[in-house]
Amino acid sequence: MAVTPHDPYAALRFRDFRLLFSGRFVAQVGEMMVSVAVGWELYDRTGDAFALGLVGLVQVIPVMLLSMPAGYIVDRYDRKLITLWSQVVLIVCSLALAGLSLTRGPLPLLYVVLAVIGAARAFNNPAEGALTPQTVPPEHYFNATTWSSMVWQTSAITGPAIGGFIIGLAGNAAAVYMVNAAAGAVLVIVLLMLRLKPQTYTPTDEPPLKALRAGWHFVRNTQVILGSLSLDMFAVLFGGATFLLPIYAKDILHVDATGLGFLRAAPSIGALMMAAFLSRRPPFQRAGRTLLWAVAGFGVATIAFGLSTSFWVSLLMLALTGALDNISVVVRHTLVLTHTPDDMRGRVNAVNSTFIGASNELGGFESGLAAALLGPVGAVVFGGFGTLAVVGAVAWLSPELRRMGALHKSYAPEAEVAAAAEQSVST
C-alpha cells in the first residue's frame, strides 16, 4: 500500500488557519515589544528594580483569578467574539499606556492599565486557543501546533529587538505602545474575516459553578492531559535557569550585556529550530515516551548549564533546553486539542493557562530562593535534578501517558470522552 508523504504545510493550506496564524504573529510581536517598553520606561522613571517586579505581579493576579470563570464563558458564548472584544480591550489599554507615557502620567494608573491587560488576557488566551480546532481538521492538529509554536518563538526573538529599536529611534516608549495598538488592530481585522466551523456550546441548564468544576475534573480524570500538564509545569518550576542568567553572565561566565542578550535568546532560538524541524515530520509514533525523554533531556541540559563555566557550552545547553521544551509544548498542546470535547475547550485551556502561569511566576521565586540558599550553581543543578525526579514520578503515576503511541492515533474514543465528561460533571 502506498504511503502518503508527510505535508509540512498541511495546516497552512487551510484559509482560516493561515489568517489566524498571520494575525497571531503580528499581535504577538506587538506584545513582546510592549514587555520591553514597559520595563524600560519604568526603570527609566524610577530606577527601582521593585517597580519592575510589580509588572509581572499585577498582570498575573487577574489571570489566576479570572482564568476559570473566563474558561466557562468561552465554552458558553461565541469564542471568536470573546477573542475579538479581548483584543479591543488590549488595543485601548495600549493606547492608554501611550498617553501615560507621553504625559508622564502617574505610575499607579500605569499599573492599573497593566492589570486590565492581565484581565483581558485571562479571557483572550482560552478563547483564542480554542479557535484552532475550528480552523483545521483533527488529523492536522499536530502540524497546526508546531506552526503556532513557531509564532511564539519567532515573536519572542524579534519582538524585544524591534521594541528596543523603536525606543532608540523615537526616544520614548509611547511609539512602541502605538505600534502595538496597530498590531492588535490587525488581529481584529483577521478575526472579522474568519469563517469558522460551528462551535459546540456547554449546556445552558448546567449551573455555572458545576460547569467550572467540570474543567478541573476533566483534566484530573484524563491521565494523558494531567500528566503532560504536570510535566510542563514542574519542568518550568524547577528548570528556571533563565531567571538567574544575569548572575551567570556577570559572575560565572564573565560576559557583558551583549553576552547576556545571547544567553537570553538561546532558548528561543533552540525552540524555533525544533519547531521548524517538527513541522517537517509526521506526528511522533511514540509520543508518550518522546515527551518523557524530552523533559528528562531538559533536566540534564539544565544541570549541564548549571555546571558549565564556558560561555559557548552554556549557550549550547540553553539552546538545547529550548529545543527540548518545544517538544513538550507541541505534544502537550496537541494532546489538549485531541482529547478535549469541543464544549469544554475553554475550561481546559483555562486550566492549562493557570498551570503555566503559576509555574512561570513560582519558577522565578523558586530560583531566587534556591539561589539565596544554595548559590546560583546549586540552584540550577537542584532544579535540573528536580525535573528528573518529576519525570520519574509522572512516568510511574501515569502509565497511559507512558504507553501513548502516535499522536494522530491518540484521539480519545467517544465513549471515553463521554465517560470522563459525565464523571467530571457528576463529581
Please check the confidence at residue 364 and state whether its pLDDT lies above 50: yes
Average pLDDT over residues 75-88: 92
For residue 171, the number of C-alpha atoms closer than 13 Å in the C-beta half-sphere is 1
More confident residue, 363 or 185: 185
207-232 pLDDT, tens per residue? 777 777 777 778 877 778 888 888 87
In the chain the first and final C-alpha atoms are separated, in Å, by: 47
| pLDDT at residue 46, as a whole number | 79
Least confident range from 14-23, 131-140, 179-188, 358-367: namely: 358-367
Q: From CA 420, how far away is CA 422, in angstroms rounded?
A: 5
Residue 343 CB neighbours (<10 A): 18
Place of cell 520591553: 36
Say which amino acid occupies 207. Answer: P
List Cβ<8 Å contacts ≥24 apart for 415-424: 417/339, 417/341, 420/218, 420/221, 420/222, 421/214, 421/218, 421/341, 421/344, 423/217, 423/221, 424/213, 424/214, 424/215, 424/216, 424/217, 424/218, 424/220, 424/221
Q: Which of 19-28, 156-165, 213-222, 387-396 has the highest mean pLDDT?
A: 19-28
Which helix (H) or strand (E) segment holds residue 318: the answer is helix 311-339
What is the pLDDT at residue 332? 82
Residues in the chain: 427
Give the CA distances from residue 54 to residues 38, 50, 209, in Å, rounded to whole numbers and listed in that order: 11, 6, 31
Of 218 and 53, the one with more pLDDT: 218
Provide the percentage of residues in the chain whose pLDDT is more than 90: 24
More confident residue, 237 or 175: 175
pLDDT at residue 413 above 60? no
The reported pLDDT for the residue numbered 204 is 64
Instruction: Give residue 206's pLDDT.
Output: 66
Taking residues 39-46, what's their average pLDDT?
A: 80
Mean pLDDT for the stretch of residues 161-179: 87
pLDDT exceeds cutoff 70 at 203? no
Q: Any residues with CB less than 8 A from the CB of 197 and at least 6 apart, and which? A: 133, 134, 135
Distances (CA, A) of 315 to 247, 302, 304, 378, 384: 15, 11, 11, 19, 16
* pLDDT value for 301: 93
CA distance 23 to 183: 8
